[in-house]
Amino acid sequence: MSVVAMKKIRICAMKKDRKEVLEYLQRRGVVEIDSDLHIEDVGEDTDTLSGFCRTDTARLKSQYRKRADTADKALEVLEQYVPEKKGFLAGLEGLGTASDEEMQSIIDKRHWFNRMAAGVIANSAKIDACEVEIARCRRNIEGLAPWMEMDIPINTESTKATRVFIGTLPPDTVADTYCGKIDALCPEIKDRYQITFVSQDKDQACIAAICHKSDGDKLENALRETGFVRIAFFSHRTPDGKVKKYNRKIRDNEKEREDILVKFRKYAAYRDTFKILSDYYRIRADKYEVLGSLMQSERTFIITGTCPENQVESIEKDLNSGFNLYFATEDYGKDEPMPVLLDNPRTFAAGEGVMSSYGLPSRTDIDPCAIMTVCYVVLFGMMLSDAAYGLIVFAVCFALLYKFPKMGQNIAKTLRLFMYCGISTMCWGVLFGGYFGDAVTVVARTFMGRDVTVPALWFTPLDQPMKMLVVSLAIGLVHLFLGLGIKGYQLARRHDWVAVISDVLSWYLLIIGLILMLMPTQMFYSITGISMEFSQTMIYASYVIAGLGALIIVFMSGREKKNPFLRVALGLYDLYNVTGWLSDILSYSRLLALGLATGVIAQVINQMGSMAGSGVFGMIVFVLVFIGGHALNMAINILGAYVHTCRLQYVEFFGKFYDGTGKPFKPFRNNTRYVVFGDKVISDNHKEDLVS
């Protein structure tokens, strides 16, 4: 349970050294730089420091961010068109590595690679344009399909002596009787026009009509009255000629697209180069962002920040050995908020992800990670409570941790936590006799004709659910008392002994007294099946213990109020919180619910698998149902155990003592996305373009 002690640091150095100083701090990654420094915060004579100001680095920072984004976009394009061959678990491999010489070579040629990345993006835009054009041509070919039998140009509207109408009619038009309709509408042009039905389908009827120019207007009016619409295509080519032109365009665009894809396959060899380039520019952008927050004069600059106390001596020694500067440290004030960095042993650090999801400990809190991790593992195992499931979880997590030693720190912590949960699940499974539910019994009875049972080391929850409920509530009470005890410890560290008695001891007395009062009652016997008889002295003692706790709560909860009536009223209101304790304790009945759910579903799966009998077919069915059913059951209940265990930690346990309002420590470091950078490649050999 350790929160790293922090120190404020202040560095004043020559402006000519700021590049090297910043790069050193970024490389070490143990200093959080204060970006909100004001001159009056330095603690010196304001008039003496009046020449200090901040440098505007927005342009350069934006430039480097843009270059990093260009490299990222180039990688996305390559992944889209030339996917990198990755294993299913490639995401666990962690960041890549490269030799210092390779990285330095890429950085020295970065301008050439920038143009290459931009070229990848430009070619991607060309592919998009080709695909748009191909899709347009295919749509147009599809639209011209009904007109392929027409042998005149699409845009024909007239000849020297005739008018031509090319278009569509409603799909229910009957070709054999259509001319009769036109004759009825316009009898004066009967037998002086010709209408050809080019094609007809469920959507439309395609026609071409021709008449003498003198009859053109009359025929056009008649056509419109029957729903005629001119064709949407306009071309001097016939439909067949137009389709051939579209096909040529499709072939040309497909060839251009294929040529670009060939280039992309060559660019794929530079995938790692783009990754290094992206991270390099990302590091530089971060450096310029910090540079813009520093107070600088004509010849000097000031850095203030926070550093872990155990790193201060090393930082000071390195900086003083390399630069001519002033280095000072200062302790945080008693009530001053301090960035939080956790330092737990690897075993207990596994729970840091769960705790951080709720919030980091504030300066007045202790780090509950170790205690919370132990509680989390115990509760998770009790909810899943099947030895076979636990063995699978443990084996998978252990194998992944062993196979991918360079995986991200947060993922490694999560897998390590689940590995411990797997061990806990195995232990609870042995205690409760769960091995894929009752798989041993079902297999022996179905395929061997024998009754074989693996007995529970303690008891079987499905046979004794009330006993399981009592155990769940008892574990919940211990968990809650542990949280309350941590609150008392925090108050004792601040020497607030009145609060220890009023806010902690009083509740211990009240809850313990109420439990002692409940235990010899008939209600307790009906719930647990356990008969307990107390002596009269013990019964009176339980009344005294509960009463003393209640009195302390009533008269001390509102102790900050001077009005005695208001104090008692607040105390009575606080005493009502005993119902909250009851609610919290009952919340642990979910241990019973999820434990039974795992076992019941597992038994149902086993019974379903055995329904096909004992033959070869029955064995095949059993294996298929067994594997699929238990995989699904395990997945669902692992998720349920994770969610409900987090809920018990966040609401019931943390609710007793933990604020979680700590501000995380965010050091200035090499925040890379793809590659781990070494010490030798952060600087480049070119003149630094730091703004003055």
Interval 254-280: pLDDT, tens: 999 999 999 999 999 999 999 999 999
Own/partner pairs, 14-17, CB within 8 angstroms, 24+ separation? 14/299, 14/300, 14/323, 14/324, 14/325, 15/296, 15/297, 15/298, 15/299, 15/300, 15/301, 17/323, 17/324, 17/325
Helix (H, G, I), strand (E, B) or coil at 177: helix
Task: Examine the pLDDT at 180 and tell me if it is beyond 70.
Answer: yes
In this structure, how many other beta carbons lie within 10 angstroms of the beta carbon of residue 493?
10
Beta bridge partners of 307: 7
Could you tell me which residues come within 8 angstroms of residue 681 by beta carbon, excluding any fewer than 6 positions away? 100, 103, 104, 107, 280
Q: Buried (b) or exposed (e) across 629-639, using 16+ Cβ within 10 A?
A: bbeebbeebbe
Dihedrals phi, psi of 196, to nearest 5 degrees: -115, 125
Of 104-108, 246-250, 659-663, 686-690, where does mean pLDDT reach its minimum? 686-690
Closest CA to 302 of 51, 484, 532: 51
| Residue 98 pLDDT | 82
Task: Examine the pLDDT at 234 and tell me if it is beyond 90.
Answer: no
Kindly report, residue by residue over 276-296, the tens digit of the pLDDT: 999 999 999 999 999 999 999
| Residue 102 pLDDT | 87
Task: Examine the pLDDT at 45 and tell me if it is beyond 50.
Answer: no
User: What's the mean pLDDT in 156-183?
Assistant: 93
| Residue 223 pLDDT | 94
Nearest-5° Cα angle at 450, 444 to 455: 70
| Residue 423 pLDDT | 98
Report residue 686's pLDDT band, with 50, 70 and 90 as the boundaries: very low
| Residue 386 pLDDT | 97
Kindly report, residue by residue over 331-390, the tens digit of the pLDDT: 998 888 899 999 999 999 999 999 999 999 988 788 999 999 999 999 999 999 999 999
User: What's the mean pLDDT in 210-214?
Assistant: 94
Kindly report, residue by residue over 524-574, the tens digit of the pLDDT: 888 777 888 889 999 999 999 999 999 999 999 888 888 888 889 999 999
Report residue 489's pLDDT band, with 50, 70 and 90 as the boundaries: very high
Q: Residue 590 has what DSSP assignment?
A: H
Helix (H, G, I), strand (E, B) or coil at 67: helix
Instruction: Give the type of residue at 97.
Output: T
Mean pLDDT, all residues of the chain:
92
| Residue 467 pLDDT | 92
Closest CA to 610 of 624, 599, 597, 596: 624
Task: Examine the pLDDT at 692 and tell me if it is beyond 60.
Answer: no
| Residue 553 pLDDT | 94
| Residue 37 pLDDT | 61
Helix (H, G, I), strand (E, B) or coil at 143: helix
User: What's the mean pLDDT in 151-178?
Assistant: 92
Task: Examine the pLDDT at 38 and tell me if it is beyond 90.
Answer: no
User: Which position has the higher pLDDT, 473 or 524?
Assistant: 473
Closest CA to 428 of 622, 221, 229, 641: 641
535: exposed, middle or buried (Cβ count in 10 Å: 0-12, 13-18, 19+): exposed
User: On the CB side of 408, how many CA atoms lie within 13 Å of its CA?
Assistant: 13
| Residue 541 pLDDT | 95
| Residue 561 pLDDT | 85
Report residue 600's pLDDT band, with 50, 70 and 90 as the boundaries: very high
| Residue 528 pLDDT | 79
User: Which position has the higher pLDDT, 107 or 364?
Assistant: 107
* pTM of the predicted model as reported, rounded to 2 decimal places: 0.87
| Residue 41 pLDDT | 52
Q: Residue 561 has what DSSP assignment?
A: -
